[in-house]
């Protein structure tokens, strides 16, 4: 009994008596239907987006389409850094000034009301002092008041940007500049590095505190 190309057993050898297909000539081996290649392997590739093993077009891990280019993520944006100072009447500093006989200590009186003030720092230098229109002095951190600290010179000190922070420079002021709880005034015209939270003391009772804000 012959076998047709469709695999039917046919009693006739010219046309299949089942489906009518022409019967091939030759041996049964010539008429057999080829079987799938059992030795074929699946090709694995690496996803260009995430590096996972990918079989086929789409990555099962991240869903990337291998026919599309890999889009690089945008670069990380660093949070901007800003600096400011707060100015306030500091009773503890005033008491130290009076105790060591500071500027006109006997005539000094601590202000009854002095709300804190805030000054943003920008540029490379910010001056500290008291405004004087007649002398053309307009400090970035103006301590004219009210209330006015008479121990502050018109050109008292300077905040200077240095690296990623700030330094303070005493401008040979009459009564000097100290930092934190130090009793010794800073040498004039020499930068003194500051850290966030450091307190710069000028005059009889004025304290200037440095602050850093990230983002």
Q: CB within 8 A of 152, min separation 6: which ones?
A: 128, 129, 130, 143, 173, 175, 202, 203, 206
- Asked if residues 178 and 185 have their Cβ atoms less than 8 Å apart, the reply is yes
Residue 102 has a pLDDT of 55
Splitting the chain (215 residues) into consecutive groups of 10 residues, what average pLDDT does each group show?
74 72 58 51 79 84 84 76 96 90 71 93 96 94 89 96 94 96 93 97 96 87
Show the tokens assigned to 59.
């990555």
DSSP per position, 51-66: --EE-SSB-TTT--BT
Residue 64 has a pLDDT of 82
Long-range interactions of 177-183: CB distance < 8 A, separation 24+: 177/201, 177/202, 183/96, 183/100
β-partners of residue 143 are none
Residue 41 has a pLDDT of 63
- CA-closest candidate to residue 156, choices 87, 90, 215: 87
Residue 105 has a pLDDT of 65
Domain annotation for the chain: domains and CATH numbers: 1-32 (no CATH), 42-74 (no CATH), 81-214 (2.60.200.20)
Give the integer Cα–Cα distance in Å for 189 and 166.
15
Give the integer Cα–Cα distance in Å for 165 and 189.
18
């Amino acid at each position: 009994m012959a076998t047709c190309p469709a695999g039917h057993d046919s009693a006739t050898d010219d046309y299949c008596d089942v489906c009518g297909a022409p019967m091939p000539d030759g041996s049964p081996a010539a008429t057999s239907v080829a079987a799938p290649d059992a030795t074929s392997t699946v090709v694995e590739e690496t996803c260009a987006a995430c590096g996972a093993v990918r079989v086929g077009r789409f990555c099962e891990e991240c869903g990337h389409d291998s026919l599309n280019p890999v889009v690089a993520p945008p670069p990380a944006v660093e949070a901007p850094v800003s600096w400011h100072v707060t100015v306030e009447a500091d009773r503890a500093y005033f008491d130290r000034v009076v105790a060591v006989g500071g500027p006109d200590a006997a005539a000094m009186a601590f202000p009854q009301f002095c709300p804190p003030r805030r000054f943003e720092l920008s540029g490379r230098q910010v001056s500290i002092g008291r405004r004087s229109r007649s002398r053309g002095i307009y400090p970035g951190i103006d301590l004219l008041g009210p209330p006015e600290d008479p121990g502050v010179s018109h050109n008292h000190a300077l905040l200077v940007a240095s690296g990623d922070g700030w330094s303070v420079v005493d401008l040979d002021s009459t009564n000097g500049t100290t930092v934190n709880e130090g009793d010794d005034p800073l040498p004039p015209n020499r930068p003194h590095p500051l850290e966030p939270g450091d307190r710069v003391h000028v005059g009889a009772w004025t304290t200037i505190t440095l602050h850093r804000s990230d983002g």
